[in-house]
Structure formats: C-alpha cells, structure tokens
Structure 1
Amino acid sequence: MSATRWMAAALIAAWIPLASATTDERIKPALEEIQKLVAASGDGPGIAIGVSDRERLLGVVVHGYADLKTAKPVTPDTKFAIGSISKSFTAVVLLQMADAKKFDPAAPISKYLPQFRVNTTYPAITGHSVLNHTSGLPNYLPHLSSMRYALYALHDFQPTYAPGDHFEYSNTGYQILGYVAERIDGDSFPSILERRILEPLGMHATEPQMDDTVRQSLAISYERWPYDGSYVESNWFPYTASDGGIASNTEDFGAYVRFILNRGVGPKGRILSPAAFEAFITPALDNYAYGVNVSRAAGKTVVGHGGSIYGFNSYFEAHIDEGFGLTFLSNTRLDSELVGRVIGIASKALGGNGQPATYRKFTNPPAQDWNDTSRYEGTYLRQDGVRAVFSKGQDGRLLMRSSDGKQVELRRMGRNIYGGRATGAYLFFGDSEVSHGADWYTKEGAAVPESVTTPAEYRAYVGRYQNHNNEGPDVRVFVRRGRLMVTSATSTSFTSELVAVSPGVFRLETPSHSPERYQFDTLDDGVTLRLQVTGVPLYRVDLP
C-alpha cells in the first residue's frame, strides 16, 4: 500500500458553491449554511456535495483538495470512485433485463451461469436473494477482487442458512450478478452500463470501470496513517467488477439521483418500468432492497446507499416523496455527523422534515488525540499476579515496565493498539484492561473478571496474519478474558470474538448465522502459519 505522507500543513482550503446564476433561490441560504459548516471541518482532502430536485442540480458545495501535494482544489467536476453505490447500477441493469423477460429474479443464478455453484443442501441461490443480500454468500474475496475465478472459488463454499433467511452483505454476490448480466447481454459489463444507464441519463463524465486509464482523471484518495493520524495516499489497483467499479462527479451523480426521484424515469424516457422500479426500492430484510437501503418512516420513502474503495467514500440520499436528493463524494473518510447535518439543512430548505434516513446512524466515533496516552496509563495485573505498569512516553508513545523491572518503549500501531519489537505480540487496550497475545491484564482498581481458563490451543493462533494482495486483509488475533478475538491490524472498528465450530475452525460471535469462517492450520514450532478467512489465505508475519 502506498504510504506517501502529506507534510504540507500550510495549505489553505478552497471551497466554492455552484455559480449563483444557476443556483436555485430556494436553496441559496441553505448552501451558504452548508458552506460554513463544511469549511469549519478543517483542511485536508476534499468533499463535493450536490443538492438536486426532480428537474436539475440545484447547487454544489465543495471544500478541500483533490491532491494534497499540488494543492489542487476539489471542484464540481472532480471525479471520485463511488464504491458500493455501483451495486444499485447493477440492480438497475438486471431489472431492465427483467422488464425485457430476459432475467427472472426468482430463478436460480445457475440458470444464467452454469459454472456458479456452492456446496449446499439448501434451496438454490436466486437472483432475488443475491440482489437483496440474503443469499448467504460470503462478503468479499479480496484476493479475487474483480476476478472471474471467484465463481469457481465458491464451489467448496458451504452456506450456513437458506437463501432469504438472513441479511448478510455480499460484495461477492454482486460481482457474480455482473457476470450474469454479461452472459444475458453478450457484452462487457462496462459497455452494458454505458449503453443502458450512463448514456440515457446523460452521465457522460462517469467511468464504468476503474482500469488504469482512469486513474489520472480521479482525485487522489487518502487514508489516515494509524500511527500518527496524518494523511497517506491510498493504494490504487484496477477494479472492474460490478459490485464497486464506477467513478463519477457531482453533476453526473445528481443525474442518477434524479432518476430515482422520478421513479425510474430519465431525461430521455423510462429506464425502468413502474413495476421494476417498485421492486428496486422494496426492502426485504434490514431495510435493504436491490442495491439500495430504503427508509419508509412517517409515510415517506427515502432511498440511499454509501460506498468506499481506495480511501474514496461516497453517499447519496433520495427523498422520493419530498422530491429532493443529496450526493456526497470525498477522497477520504466522510464525516458521518457532517453528512447528517447537511441533509437536515437541505431538507428544511426544500420542504422536508429536516431529518436524514432512518436506516443509518449519522454519528462519528469519539475524537482521538493521537498523543494522549492518559487512558492507557496505570498499573495492570495479570491473573497470576504479574504486573505491567504503563506510563507516558515521548510523541504519543507509551512506556511499559514489567514485574522484572524491564522497561520498553511502545509505539502506537493503531487506535488502542501499541507494540514494539521488544514486546513480541502487540498490546490491545480495552476498557480497564489490556490484551498481550494470549495474556490479558486488568487495570488496578477495576473490577476483576471471574477466573477463566484460556484453551491451550489459543496460544498457537495468536499473532498477525496478512494477505499481501492490494486490499489485504491484515488482521490480529489475540485473547481477551479467555476468549479468542480478531481485529483489523490498524483499527478497532472491527473486533469480534471467534466462536469454535470445530477443531481449528471458528465463526464470528455476531451474527451467529455469519457465513464467514476462520480456519487456522499449518502448525509449525507451536504456532499456526496460516489463517483462512472463508477461503481467503492469510499468512503469519513476524510483526507486532
């Protein structure tokens, strides 16, 4: 992954509205309020916000940089990857084919792709169950991202429930739907998108796939470096699959939102029949329909979805009954609270109730001072009485002194994660406790948990595992209060207990029906060297 660090702290942010000559008078005061709100969010990577009604783009607010190194500002024409919002385009394509009687959502996927099969005794997986993420297929196979071999990699996959029983998001499923569309249409999926959606909607600036020819036309995307919070350039790799391969700008994105606001009608006529559009926005489980989330609170229908890839993040929300929609494009993580407040401002200006969709929470994780170690400092006790004392070091580091008097310096490895060569395993801090490999400590003065025994085999599993493809994954396995845990290598945004289902094989604690399986194997010198996550191979690396 590229880690080009941004050091130009003196750059000045740039932000502009859509030219006032074309800005709707109803929205001007709201745009000015949004501009002030966005400008107060600080300098750095950029954001472009579009507001549309059923007829046109009413206004745009932009802020920040498309390229931090050159101080190139974001403009209304800046292109961003839209990630998983691409799924709804795939759904529209297949619904068009359903209108033409070429695709039946109720039919098994294998009717269109005979090479698609899974190892199951449950009923066949249908297009309907893949479209609404109730198929039981695994979420993502990153080592096979946008690779047709994913069809064959699923032959040994064993679903844990019948199609339709549970909602579990599946990028893999939507990748397969693109291959279904290609088989039916006889053309490449990017060409299908251009002919069936982009051209009819006038989305001439939109890229239907992320190949290498597209890279120079996009903003540079950024992620937070986990060790100090600075911005680093995200990795780039070609991505051509139908679950997340589209890039667009604010004007084009607004055209897509207007297609939804007009219930399947574009500027040149119908894209979807009324019946197909209704299927598009009819949720099954967890407020999810066909590639979109749907809220139907207080008799109002709100359709939306988010997306992320390469560090790009996007979101749209179409308030169908009230006749307005918003788009958000960014080359770094979107501030969720900011998104919710912007939607509220625009909604009040355009006759809505001032509320965003009910299917998601618009809150951010607690702000973090990268140099503040106070929450970690203190004395911690292991169950056998061994002590570890943590105190403040330099530049956001921690000092750890063990019972034998040795002191080592710990570097920040991510949110609540510290480590160093001298510690071997990293240290993961929770509420009043810290895990260190297969051991865990409770902070002095905190309630001590009941005595538990850690299964002996867990010590073999503890460690860091990586897949060195473009997207990882990179995870850490540790023990907390006798339970085997997994988290991402640099963030605690995903942390879960692993529950044993058979020797060396585990599932996530929540949900219990999760199709994902974690299998440890290749025992060597007391430790396992490989962790397979639903068939994705990760290998032990000697890093903290």
Structure 2
Amino acid sequence: MSGSAAAAAAAVVERIAAEWAVPGVAVAVTDRDGVVWRHVTGHADLARGIPLRHDHLLEIGSISKAATAMVVLQEVAAGRLGLDQPIGDVLPWVPAPLLDPAITLRTLLTHTAGLVGSVDALPDERAQVAGYAGGATGSAPGARFHYSNVGFLLLGLAAGAVAGRPLPDLVRERVFGPAGMRDAIPVITAADAGRLAVGHQPLAEDLPWRPGDPLVASPLVETSGSDGSIAATAADLAAFARVLLRGGRGDAGVVLAPGSFEAMTGTLAPSGEDVLVVPGQSAPEWSRYGLGINVEQSRRGRALSHGGGMVGYASFLLADPAAGRAVVVLTNADGDSPIAEAIARSVDVVFAGGGAVPDDPGLSGSRWARPETSLAVGDHLSVRPPALPPEAHGVFVGADGRRLEVRAAGEGHEVVVDGSAAPLRWTWSDRCVTTLPALRRFALVFDGTGWSWGPEEFPPERAAGGAPSRAHALEPSDPALAAAPGHYRSYTPWFPHLRIVRRGSRLVLIAARGVEAPADDQPLIPLGDGVFRIGADPAVPETLRLGPVVDGGCVWIDRDGCRYSRSFTP
C-alpha cells in the first residue's frame, strides 16, 4: 500500500466526519491476508472527551444478518433445515400471517417474504414474532425485495430451534471462532457499556438535523435479536470481511463450505439495497440481495456489501473479491443516515485509484452536482452530492400567498422566505434543510414541479392557483382529514416521533429521524376502516391505523403494532 493512498484515505475520513458531525470513526482496509490500513479518529464519548481507540467496540447493526445467514446455511448443509422449508414447519407457534407455506427460509433470507420491515413496540424477538399482525397488504412471497428485520428474527429463532442452542452461542462458536473475530460480542447488554464507544444522536428527536445542532449520548439498547445484535472492533469486522473475500474461509477455520458460500452470494432477490454512489465511484449495473448479503454487479465483477444502523451507531462493509480488497467502517453516529457507507465507498475510491482523491471528498451538504454532469440514477442508486434541476429554481407561491424562492449561490443554492435568505443544504434523502427559523419544523422537498414543506405546497409562481394534485386524495368530507394531523410520539428509540400533515385532501406521514423511520415523506393511502398504507407503492406491507378521536383529534395511532400517542408539542 502506498503512503499516498494512506494519507489520502485518512484525509477523506477526517473531512467527511467533520462535515457531517460524526463523533468517532474506525476504518480498516483489508486484503485476503490481513489489514493493510486502519484509521481511528474522533471520540468514543463526546461529553467526557474520551478519544476513540482501536479496541473500542461499536455496534454493527444489520451487518449481523450476514452472520445469522451463515449459521442458517450451516444448518441447511447439516440437513436440519431446508431453504425451501416453510418457516411454520420449524416454528409452528407463529401467528397465522406467518404460516403461509410460501414464507420459506429462502424468501426470508432474501427479504422477499413480503413482511413488514420492523415491529418496534417490543424488545424481545419472540414477542415481536408472536404479535405479528401483518399480511393485509404487500406482495406475494418471493415476488419482490422488501427489507424486513422481522424475517431475520424468524431465521434466528429457527436456527436456534433445530440446533438446540440460542443463536448468539452459535454465532460466537461457528462464526466468530473460525473467522478470527477475537473481541466481538453477539449480544449487547448494559454489562458491555465499559467496552462500547458511546452512541450519539441529535438532541432534537423530532426535528430535521442541521449542521451545528447539538449531539447527545443515545440510550444503550440491549439486544440479542438475530437481525442485528453484534458489537465489534474494526479489526473484528475486517476479519469477517476476509471470510467474504476468501469464499467462506476465515483466519482460523472454515465458516462456510464452498457450496454454501455460493448459495449465499448467488441466490438473489429480484432487487436489493440502495447503493450510494459517491464522487469518483462508478455506479454498479445492479444491486440484488442474496442470502444475508447484498450483491452489486460492478465492472470488475460482483462486490458484496451490507450496512448497519443502530440507535447511536452506523456501520458499513464493502468487500470486492475481484480487487481482493474490503473496506469496513464503524461509527458512533446515529444509524438513520448512510454516513458509514459514504465513508466506506469514498475510502474504496481512494484505494482503487492508488491514492487519487475524489472530487469533494468531504461530500459537502452545501455543494451540489450540476444537472448536466450527474449520473443517470436508476433503481437502487442514490448519487451524492445530488443535482438540483433547473425547475427547482425560481419563485414558488403557497396557497396563502407565502413566497419561497430558491436560487443558485456559488456551488450551492439558497432559499429565501419572508425576506430572509439562508443556504439550502442537501441531506441523504430527497429532503433539503436550511437554518431559517421559519422552516425549522420540516425539511423542504422538491417533487419535480414544486416544493413542499410539511403541510404546505409551493407550486411555481407561474402555476400558482392551479388545480391541486388529486393523487392519494381523500374525500373532502372524510373525518380523517381533520382528526389525523398532528405530532405523535412513542417510547421506541428506533422510530420515536412522526407527524401526520394534511396537504390539500391528502395525508402525509413525516418522520424527521429514526433508524427505522422512512427517510422521505410518505403519502398515507386509505385502505378503509381507518387503516392507511404507508407509501404510494401498492406492494409495501406497512400500515397505519387511526385510534379513537377525542375533542376532534386522534389520541393515538398504531403503526404495524407500535402505538404512538398524540404529543402536546406541535
């Protein structure tokens, strides 16, 4: 490894961490033989000023799913499980929606079982599964990719049932041992707090994060769930990445036999996880999820990737067998953004280029790509920095005559409201934020024609007064239009706040942050009897049910089994 690559990679990590207020970052680059470069920067605990060290554990979140999948595939190889075996055959106690014979280990491993993403109301995996009430909407099992933590809870319970031992014990023995992950732990409890770097999150849970907003320690969430309960050092995660580079062989033994590894990386869903395309990186041809790992088709061949988001932690693993290189990133920044992926892919660009620094290696939120030079964005690709199209510039007027102007300013943009101007900053989704106090509660979103901000819509000035969109509209007399809007909160740390706003005759769900919260504004589609689908896609299974109305407003709502009460704050 050249000194220029090491210096350039360190500079990229430092600049991205500073730009996006990441408390601490641990990065490692490994080849098939061992770690070739590592870098640790920032703090393990901001409040106490404790520096992050190489031996600190950080939570890796959903990267743990790959370890769960490996144990399941070991049980398949041993003949105790079958990929096409219905989960109800292994766990006959699961509720009726999960007894569909088409919900098999294969569809669960590939996230194609049609299950909801998560059930955040209860901390225990058996309780989450036993209380599962999904199935009213969504796609038929096997038809399409829809990421589901619930599916991996089922897989972990199934592996433990046939092996006669809890999944964490199996992961420790069969994955950590042969992989050479010496310090990793398969469950997270308060007893581990002394070894863990402290997780962090924005102080304001119900408002969009802006540069300069304070960060605080996040709550320590105890977990043993097979969807994401591993904590590790960067060296541990690099050892796990070497298993992927070597086709199943770890530093101290075999984790997966060649046939099982081929099944893991070659049995693919119709699509897969979103890929963040950073400056200097070529967009992959496609992204499809395998059995517990995401597979990207690149120019060199197939690369393997997985991200992890936890309360207070974000991580990413990128393994490129064709290049013989993997990059792993662990941070104690909140897991509601792909910041770890941005760092991992930017570092990979540096090493792939022999030390060349990509354009804008800090991924500045105030710098925007030009429309004519940005990549064509296909399915599951997200280009950052994004391009703001020419149609997003100009004067936009709300229904009450309020004017909003967006204009170019240097390499970025600024927004003007009520005579005050401030820079417009992109985020990791379609949302944009600004420091203007008048626009604090919600982010701005451009939909291709006009801007929206919470309940307000701003069409172009030349089109102001035109007919409002009827997409997803309710009848004007529908009582939900008056009863549902408001601010709701729950005590789940994964998705603590949401707001329902009325835009004309439509209802929209907006969650400012949360690891399991949607990153974009979501229309609520009426299904009848006070139930709404969350999102325009008719195949998604997530729903929201309105509770009783008191004094003109819903006092609570239910989101896939997690109840939220109306908040006293606006």
- TM class by shorter chain equals 0.7 to 0.9
Contact 1:223 1:234 in 2 (8 A): yes
- The structure with more radius of gyration: 1
Task: Give the Cα–Cα distance (whole angstroms) in 2 for the partners of residues 335 and 194 of structure 1.
Answer: 25
* 2:169 partner amino acid: S
Query: Residue 32 of structure 2 contacts residue 242 of structure 2 at CA under 8 Å; is this kept in 1?
Result: yes
CA contact (8 A) 1:82 1:307 kept: yes
Q: Distance in 2 between matches of 1:216 and 1:71?
A: 15
Separation in structure 1 between the aligned mates of residue 323 and residue 513 of structure 2, nearest angstrom? 42
**What is the Cα deviation at residue 30 of structure 1?**
1.1
Instruction: Indicate the residue corresponding to 2:509 in structure 1.
Output: 486
Report if the CA contact (8 A) 1:521-1:530 is conserved. yes
Structure 2 residue corresponding to 1:72, chosen from 40, 46, 50: 50
The answer on whether the counterparts of 1:520 and 1:530 sit within 8 Å (CA) in structure 2 is yes
Provide the rounded CA distance (Å) in 2 between the counterparts of 1:518 and 1:294.
32
CA contact (8 A) 1:209 1:240 kept: yes
SS at the partner of 2:319?
A: strand
- Residue 35 of structure 1 and its aligned partner are, at CA, apart by 1.3
Cα distance, 1:502 vs. partner? Answer: 1.4
1:262 matches 2:263? no
**CA drift at 1:488:** 0.3
- Which string of whole-angstrom CA distances, capped at 9 and with x for unpartnered residues, describes residues 59-97 of structure 1? 101221112123222232221100000000000000011
Q: 1:201 aligns with which of 164, 179, 190?
A: 179
Tell me the CA shift for residue 472 of structure 1: 3.6
What is the Cα deviation at residue 143 of structure 1? 1.1
1:447 aligns with 2:464: yes
Alpha-carbon contact 1:435-1:479 (below 8 Å) kept:
no
| Distance in 1 (alpha carbons) for counterparts of 2:86 and 2:192 | 35
Contact 1:138 1:515 in 2 (8 A): yes
TM-score by length of 1: 0.80
- Structure 1 residues 399 and 34, CA gap change in structure 2 (3 angstroms): closer
CA contact (8 A) 1:44 1:65 kept: no
Alignment of 1:286-435 (within 5 A): 286=271, 287-298=288-299, 300-332=301-333, 334=339, 336-349=341-354, 361=382, 363=384, 381-382=398-399, 386-387=400-401, 415=433, 429-431=444-446
Answer with 426-435 or 524-533: which moved more.
Answer: 426-435
RMSD across aligned positions (CA): 3.5
Query: Quick check: 1:116–1:155 contact (8 Å CA) kept in 2?
Result: no
Deviations 1:185-221 (A, max 9, x none): 1112221111111112221200111111112211112
| TM-aligned CA deviation for residue 255 of structure 1 | 0.7
Residues 518-527 or 80-89, more deviating: 518-527
Distance 1:485 1:335, change over 3 A: same
Task: Give the unaligned 5+ runs of structure 1.
Answer: 1-25, 351-357, 368-374, 392-397, 402-413
The residue type paired with residue 314 of structure 2 is N
What does residue 498 of structure 1 align with? Answer: 524
SS of structure 2 residue aligned to 1:499? strand
CA distance in 1, matches of 2:403, 2:69: 55
The 3 A distance-change label for structure 1 pair 376 and 152 is farther
AA in 2 matched with 1:172 = V
Letter paired with 1:160: G
Selected match of 2:9 from 21, 34, 39: 34
Letter in 2 for 1:363: R
**Is the alpha carbon distance of 1:535 and 1:309 closer, same or farther for their aligned partners in structure 2, counting shifts above 3 Å?**
same
Q: CA deviation at 1:508?
A: 2.9
Contact 1:337 1:364 in 2 (8 A): no
- The answer for the alignment partner of 1:460 in structure 2 is 483
Give distance in 1, aligned partners of 2:302 and 2:404: 52
8 Å contact from structure 2 (residues 32, 324) kept in 1: yes
Query: What code does the residue aligned with 2:345 have?
Result: G
Q: Secondary structure at the match of 1:207?
A: coil
Contact 2:501 2:507 in 1 (8 A): yes
Q: Is the 8 Å Cα contact of residues 464 and 489 (structure 1) preserved in structure 2? A: no
Quick check: 1:51 aligned with 2:29?
yes
Query: Could you state the TM-score of these two structures normalised by the residue count of structure 2?
Result: 0.76
Rounded Cα–Cα distance in structure 1 between residues aligned with 2:261 and 2:131:
33
| Cα distance in structure 2, aligned partners of 1:121 and 1:195 | 31
**Cα offset, 1:160, TM superposition:** 2.8
Matches within 5 A, 1:187-226: 187-226=165-204
Give the aligned partner of residue 507 of structure 1: 533
**Is 1:536 equivalent to 2:562 in the alignment?**
yes
1 or 2 for the larger relative contact order (CA 8 Å, sep ≥6)? Answer: 2
Pairwise CA distance, 1:323? 1.2
* Matched residue SS, 2:131: helix
Does the residue aligned with 1:265 lie in a helix, a strand or coil?
Answer: coil
CA displacement at 1:249 relative to structure 2: 0.5
Whether the 8 Å CA contact 1:379–1:387 is kept in 2: the answer is no
- 115, 118, 123: which is aligned to 1:140? 118
Map 1:470-481 to 2 at 5 A: 470-481=493-504
Distance 1:348 1:119, change over 3 A: same
Native 8 Å contact 1:122 1:162 kept in 2: no
Report the equivalent of 1:411.
Answer: none
- Secondary structure of the corresponding residue to residue 63 of structure 1: strand
For the Cα contact (< 8 Å) 1:120–1:158, is it kept in 2? no
Of 133, 137, 143 in structure 2, the residue corresponding to residue 165 of structure 1 is 143
User: Which residue identity does 2:554 align to in structure 1?
Assistant: T
Letter in 1 for 2:502: V
Does residue 252 (structure 1) correspond to residue 236 (structure 2)? The answer is yes
DSSP-derived class of the 1:149 partner: helix
Task: Return 5+ residue gaps in structure 2 as ranges.
Answer: 272-287, 356-378, 406-415, 420-431
Secondary structure at 1:217 match in 2: coil
Residues 436 and 189 of structure 1, relative CA distance in 2, 3 Å threshold = closer
Distance in 2, matches of 1:33 and 1:530, equals 51
Distance in 2 separating the partners of 1:426 and 1:59: 42
User: Is 1:518 aligned to 2:544, yes or no?
Assistant: yes
Counterpart of 1:469 in structure 2 is: 492
Q: Is the 8 A contact 2:72 2:159 kept in 1?
A: yes
Change (3 A) 1:277 1:236: same
| 1:428 to 1:481, Cα distance in 2 relative to 1, 3 A | farther
**Alpha-carbon distance between aligned partners in 2 of 1:121 and 1:56, rounded to the nearest angstrom:** 44
Q: Does 1:229 align with 2:218?
A: no
Letter in 2 for 1:319: D
Q: Secondary structure at the match of 2:262?
A: helix
8 Å CA contact retained: 1:531, 1:539 = yes
Q: Name the structure 2 match of 1:186.
A: 164
Amino acid at match of 1:232: V
**CA positional deviation for 1:120:** 7.4
Q: Are the aligned partners of 1:455 and 1:482 in contact in 2 as well (CA < 8 Å)?
A: no
- Write the distance in 2 (CA, Å) between the matches of 1:442 and 1:518: 29
- Please say if 1:271 is aligned against 2:255: yes
Tell me by how many angstroms 1:376 deviates: 13
Q: How far off its partner does 1:105 sit?
A: 1.3
62-71 or 225-234: bigger deviation: 225-234
Structure 1 residues 148-177: Cα deviation after superposition (integer angstroms, max 9, x where no partner): 112211256445332101111000111121
